[in-house]
Amino acid sequence: MGFVLALIAVYFLFFRYWETMRAHLRIAGAVFLGIFTVLFALFQFNLLIPVLIALTSCVPDCTGANLVGRSLNNLNLERADFVDANLSGVDLSRSRLSAADFSGANLAGANFQNAQLQGAFFLGAVLTGANFAGSDLRGANFSGANLTSVDFTGIDLTQTNLSGVSFEGARLTGVNLKNARLNTVNLTNATLNGATLVNADLSGAILSNADLSGVNLSGSRLNGAWLNLAKLVGTSLDGSNLVGSSLIAADLASSSLNGAILIGSNLVGANLKGSNLSSANLSETKLDLALLQESDLAFDPVLIELNELQRSLLLVDADLSGIVYDRQTIWPDSPLVEALLPEFSQAGQAQ
């Protein structure tokens, strides 16, 4: 009996408040439909994720923020402020980051693939192992940044400020650095094969053990640069300034040094086999092992790390076999040249 009375009570209450409940349900349904419509529209126009990011993170003002490992890919983050932020491992691929400021930020291992970074600032930023493949870096400023082991494969860096950066171990295969200012840049162990460095300023740069095979360095400034153990096979150095440079044990086989200025450079142990030295100026250049001094090896870590066996194999007289030269070639006062010059003269007459 009690159960029946309860059912009757529920029945009357339901119908008594039905109109009120129906009105509430209509309002809730309208609100839900509105929210769903907005979210669907944002999704359709790729705006859903940016809105959620804006509601849950610091963008656009992320000064000093901790965004380690965050996914911020394919977003519009133009002019965002990431100064001194921790962005290690962040994914910013395909994002629009024009004029964004990453100065002093930690961007180790960050992914910038295919990102738009025109005019972005990376002053003093740590970018160890970052990937910039396919990104647009026109007008970007990397002054003083740490770009160790960074991937810049195929990037056009002609309008990028790279003053004083560290490119140690970086991948720069096929990059365009024509007319670039790279003075005092550290490119130790970097890979630059196939790069274009025509008329680039590399004065005082460190390129020891770098791979520059097939690189076009015509007209470039390499005065005072370290190129010890560098791979320069088939490289064009026509008209380049190599005054006072160090090329100890460098591999210059089949390279072109036509009209290059090598005054006071160090070529002990260098492989010049088959290279073109026409009109080159080698005045005061060191070619003989006997002229090598301990001070020549004292400052470059790449040379310091050589063991005794490596030194015995690499530190020898320069290999001048099969070189091409002409009457304008200027030779240093060298026992090696004195011993081989008659052979070269005959070769020159036979050409």
What's the chain's average pLDDT?
Answer: 86
Beta strands in 27-149 (DSSP E): none
- Give the residue ranges of DSSP H helices in the chain: 2-16, 18-44, 48-56, 301-304, 308-314, 335-350
- Give the residue ranges of DSSP H helices in 112-250: none
Does the pLDDT at position 47 exceed 90?
Answer: no
Q: How many beta carbons lie within 10 A of that of residue 175, not counting itself? A: 23
pLDDT digits (tens, 9 = 90+) for 185-217: 899 999 999 899 999 999 999 999 999 999 999
Mean pLDDT for the stretch of residues 27-54: 55
pLDDT digits (tens, 9 = 90+) for 113-152: 999 999 999 999 999 999 999 999 999 999 899 999 999 9
28-37, 69-78, 252-261, 330-339: which is most confident: 252-261
CB 271 within 8 A of CB 253: yes
Banded pLDDT at 184 (limits 50, 70, 90):
confident
Mean pLDDT for the stretch of residues 157-171: 88
Q: How far is CA 279 from CA 95, 238, 245, 258, 283, in A?
A: 50, 10, 18, 6, 12
Strand partners, 276: 256, 324
DSSP state, residue 299: S
Mean pLDDT for the stretch of residues 259-267: 98
pLDDT at 48: 47
Smallest Cα–Cα separation from 176: which of 148, 161, 193, 195?
195
Portion of the chain with pLDDT greater than 70, in percent: 80
Portion of the chain with pLDDT greater than 90, in percent: 68
Q: How many beta carbons lie within 10 A of that of residue 170, not counting itself? A: 28
pLDDT at 60: 72
